[in-house]
């Protein structure tokens, strides 16, 4: 396994270019293709540690933008003035309360790279993925502006269709995308969701700002 990692071109590249994890290249590739994050944006990154998405997002939003990362584990500090991290479990976080601490009512984009602990037992894993997804969706419903964008890592499982349906109710365009940096042996796949709708299945979206 260690040998496999050392041969991995994205692992090597991340080391050379100073990224904390190879997943930086997944987000870069998604952005190169979909162009969702702009200079000056505020972005919430769920499951941010060790911080390679934060490093990439900091460059995308520029010095006038803001990136807020949340992780259940500590995130080693980054020397980036436009990035702040919070240690919290997103399943138990009042996101509106958290945004208030930064004098914000909503964000322009949400990214989520959280992976639940997978057991290899399909029913157990599907339940874990759905539970986590419900918490993430609550954050998106509450904190993402109408017109905002959402990128979430998921896994090809029995619940994939239900997850896609929930996202399609909320966003104008939902694409499934597997970046080259995502290992081919992994079932991971990203949902790239553009343009949050004003209303979700007949009810007004919670964020108005």
Ligand X SMILES: C[S@@+](CC[C@H](N)C(=O)[O-])C[C@H]1O[C@@H](n2cnc3c(N)ncnc32)[C@H](O)[C@@H]1O
Provide the strand spans (E) within 24-106: 42-46, 66-71, 83-87
CB 54 within 8 A of CB 48: yes
Question: Minimum distance from CB of 189 to ligand X (Å)?
Answer: 14
Q: Is residue 197 among the annotated active site residues?
A: no
Residue closest to ligand X when measured from CB atoms: 47
Interhelix angle 160-170/122-143, nearest 10 degrees: 10
Q: Counting contacts by CB under 6 A, is residue 23 touching ligand X?
A: yes
Least distance in angstroms from the C-beta of 11 to ligand X: 13
37 and 60 Cβ atoms separated by less than 8 Å: yes
Measured in whole angstroms, the distance separating CA 102 from the mean position of its chain's CA atoms is: 19
Our CB check for ligand X shows the closer of 55 and 205 to be: 55
Among 10, 25, 53, 191, binds ligand X (CB under 6 A): 53
Q: Which of 14, 61, 71, 143 binds ligand X (CB under 6 A)?
A: 71
Catalytic residue among 153, 161, 197, 204: 153
Q: Using the rule CB under 6 A, is 63 a contact of ligand X? A: no
Please report the beta strands in 88-181, taking only residues with DSSP state E, as ranges in sequence order. Answer: 107-112, 144-155, 171-177
Instruction: Identify which range of 8-16, 18-26, 158-166, 187-195 contacts ligand X by CB under 6 A.
Output: 18-26
Rg of the chain over Cα atoms, rounded to whole angstroms, equals: 16
Q: Would you count residue 15 as binding ligand X (CB under 6 A)?
A: no
Give the C-alpha distances (Å, rounded to integers) separating 48 from 21, 25, 32, 97: 11, 15, 20, 19
Does the footprint of ligand X cover residue 52 (CB under 6 A)? yes
Q: What's the sign of the alpha-carbon dihedral 113, 7, 185, 1?
A: negative
Q: How far is the CB of 167 from ligand X (least distance, A)?
A: 19
Residues forming contacts to ligand X in the complex (CB under 6 A) are 20-21, 23, 47-53, 70-73, 89-91, 113-115
* Positions marked active-site: 153
């Amino acid at each position: 396994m260690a040998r496999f990692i050392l041969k991995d071109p994205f692992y090597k590249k991340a080391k050379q270019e100073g990224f904390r994890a190879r997943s930086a290249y997944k987000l870069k590739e998604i952005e190169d293709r979909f162009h969702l994050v702009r200079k000056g944006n505020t972005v919430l990154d769920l499951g941010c540690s060790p911080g390679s998405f934060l490093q990439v997002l900091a460059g995308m939003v520029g010095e006038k933008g803001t990136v807020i990362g949340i992780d259940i584990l500590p995130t080693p500090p980054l020397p980036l003035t436009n990035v702040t991290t919070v240690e919290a479990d997103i399943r138990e976080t009042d996101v509106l309360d958290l945004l208030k601490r930064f004098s914000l009512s909503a964000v322009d984009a949400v990214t989520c790279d959280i992976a639940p602990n997978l057991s290899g037992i399909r029913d157990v894993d599907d339940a874990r993925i759905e539970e986590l997804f419900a918490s993430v969706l609550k954050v998106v419903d509450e904190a993402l502006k109408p017109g905002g964008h959402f990128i979430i890592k998921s896994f090809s499982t029995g619940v994939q269709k239900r997850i896609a349906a929930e996202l399609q109710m909320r966003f104008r365009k939902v694409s499934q995308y597997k970046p080259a940096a995502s290992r081919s042996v992994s079932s991971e796949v990203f949902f790239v969701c553009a343009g949050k709708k004003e209303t979700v299945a007949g009810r007004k979206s919670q964020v108005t700002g």
